[in-house]
Amino acid sequence: MSLTICNVHFTKQPERIVWFSSSLAKLLKLGGRKSVNVKLGKDIVPATVRTIKRKGHHVYMSAGLRRSVRIPKSGHVYIANDEDKEIKLGPLIGVLTDGGTRISSPFGERTEFVRQLLHLGRKKAYFFAFTPRDINWRQETIHGWFLNGGGGWTRRVVPLPDVVYNRLPSRRAEVGSAITTLRERFIKKRIPFFNWGFFNKSDVYTMLDNDPEALRHLPESINNPTSEKMKELLEKHQFLYYKPSAGSLGNGIYRLTYTPRKGYFIRYRRSGGNILLRFSNFNSLMKMLRARHRGNLSSYVVQQGIRLAEIDNCPIDFRFHMHKNGQNQWVVAGIGAKKAGRGSVTTHIKNGGSLMTPERALSRTFGDKSDDVLKEAKSVAIKLAKAIERNYTHALGELGLDIGIDRDGGVWMFEANAKPGRSIFKHPALKGQGKASLKYILDHCIYLSKFRRRDES
């Protein structure tokens, strides 16, 4: 397969004609051909071939052809000749998202992220965003949102894309049948679709249960434990986390500790404040938990508590933002360190936590060993990402791992997020990593779109 960047221009003829500059025609091995199939996304349209004398790699498309292939715009894009002697343009990449109500910010609070991503990809692909409502399955088209030169939005109807990057925002919407059907339709059409959806904590723990390499870095965890089991674990570890399996942002998390002779302690967050309660026996602690949750604790997981490294007596932990790159390999794109607010059960910023670079956080706890500790944590994060991927049925291209480092430098994973937030990249020192993260998304989409040379696969 030959692959190169070309410059697409439009002409006015109503017939379906495509002109190639001579050097491009030669590269694409079109010598002597009278017609060719032109492909964009999942659409293929036959066209008459002509060549023109012009230096460089240029393609001219008649209005008739443009209308049938639905090329969204002129300018630079990849062109390749496929095994089946098709000429394909693209890649056509769709970012699936939602959440907006206004035309100026069609994807709500995600709009800025989508805008940055599309801006980065504008010279390498036909890169657009869409919501589930923008798909027309009967016609197999999408009414996509493209970024125009002025930074505003232009709507264009395009064929089903070569790749979908899924950033649908709502966990609740995702389990609905409409979204499940939508995803299955893409898979049926052999359109790579990543990531599939949000992870539940219990699913990740179960997934890694038979993977010794990953299990070494998971605190002991039990899904939907009986109170006997919880008591047993509390006596074993003296310290547990009790978390809603589908929770996020630290909501609904309890920290339990047991000290012989002193009793059972529970910490949690309520109405913006941190609560600490003591019980003299385990049963009254469980009674309080059941009362708070009206008896419904079945979607909780219990987990061995890890004694995290601390700064000023406040635990710190880390978000490792992982991506698959243009060679389909996992890389650490960015790391944010978070120091818990005083008395807080979690390190979330909204619960009083603060964000810093991992270098700063680790040098304050591990001194001159901090480089080695960080290196080890990165290598564990890559191992964990690979383990999650090999135990998961669907395609994965991005992960946010919540990682703890204990006082001996041991590395632990608390949870894996399949739609990781990007708040760590707001830190001034992590802006560059935020950019790198966007670049990995783009490169991985291009990788999945198969717009690559054979020797790159």
In the bound state with ligand ADP, the residue whose beta carbon lies nearer, of 72 and 219, is 219
The only residue of 78, 127, 241, 392 in contact with ligand ADP, by rule CB under 6 A: 241
Residue closest to 429 by CA, chosen among 311, 337, 322: 337
Size of the site for ligand ADP (CB under 6 A): 20
- Is 306 one of the binding residues for ligand ADP (CB under 6 A)? yes
Task: Pick what 404 binds: ligand ADP, Mg ion, none; C-beta below 5 to 8 Å, kind-dependent.
Answer: ligand ADP
- Residue 247's binding partner, choosing from ligand ADP, Mg ion, none, with beta-carbon cut-off 5 to 8 A by kind? ligand ADP
CB of 340 to ligand ADP, least distance (A): 6
CB 124, min distance to ligand ADP, A: 34
- Min dist CB 414 to ligand ADP, Å, is 4
Q: Going residue by residue from 405 to 424, which x/- string records binding to Mg ion, judged by CB under 5 A? A: ----------x---------
Stretch near ligand ADP under the rule CB under 6 A, chosen from 14-22, 131-139, 159-167, 239-247: 239-247
Of 52, 178, 249, 276, the one binding ligand ADP (CB under 6 A) is 249
Report if residue 219 touches ligand ADP, rule: CB under 6 A.
Answer: yes
Task: Give the 3-state secondary structure of the chain.
Answer: CCEEEEEEEECCCCCCEEEEEHHHHHHCCCCCCCEEEEEECCEEEEEEEEEECCCCCEEEECHHHHHHHCCCCCEEEEEEECCCCEEEEECEEEEECCCCCCCCCCCHHHHHHHHHHHHHHCCCCEEEEECHHHEECCCCEEEEEEECCCCCEEEEEEECCCEEEECCCCHHHHHCHHHHHHHHHHHHCCCCEECCCCCCHHHHHHHCCCCHHHHCCCCCEEECCCHHHHHHHHHHHCEEEEEECCCCCCCCCEEEEEECCCEEEEEEEECCEEEEEEECCHHHHHHHHHHHCCCCCCCEEEEECCCECEECCEEEEEEEEEEECCCCCEEEEEEEEEECCCCCCCCCHHHCCEEECHHHHHHHHHHHHHHHHHHHHHHHHHHHHHHHHHCCCCCCCEEEEEEEEECCCCEEEEEEECCCCCHHHHCHHHHHHHHHHHHHHHHHHHHHCCCCCHHHC
Q: Which residue number, 71 or 377, has a Cβ lying nearer to ligand ADP? A: 377
* All residues at 6 or more sequence positions from 60 whose CB lies less than 8 Å from its CB, including other chains: 9, 10, 11, 18, 19, 52
Q: Does 303 bind ligand ADP (CB under 6 A)?
A: yes
Residues 344-383 vs ligand ADP: string with x where CB under 6 A? --xx------------------------------------
Which member of 134, 162, 174, 402 binds Mg ion (CB under 5 A)? 402
Would you give the distance in Å from CA 28 to the centre of its chain? 35
- Closer Cβ to ligand ADP, 68 or 248, answer by number: 248
- Closest separation between CB of residue 423 and ligand ADP, Å? 12
Note whether 404 binds ligand ADP by CB under 6 A: yes
Identify which of residues 62 and 346 has a Cβ nearer to ligand ADP in the complex.
346
The residue number with the shortest CB distance to Mg ion is 402
Which option in Mg ion, ligand ADP, none does residue 249 bind, with CB closer than 5 to 8 A by kind? ligand ADP
Residue 243 or 419: the one with the smaller Cβ distance to ligand ADP is 243
Q: Which does 250 bind (CB under 5 to 8 A by kind): Mg ion, ligand ADP, none?
A: ligand ADP
Q: Which of residues 81-120 bind Mg ion (CB under 5 A)?
A: none
Interface positions with ligand ADP (CB under 6 A): 219, 241, 243, 247-250, 253, 303-306, 308, 317, 346-347, 402, 404, 414-415
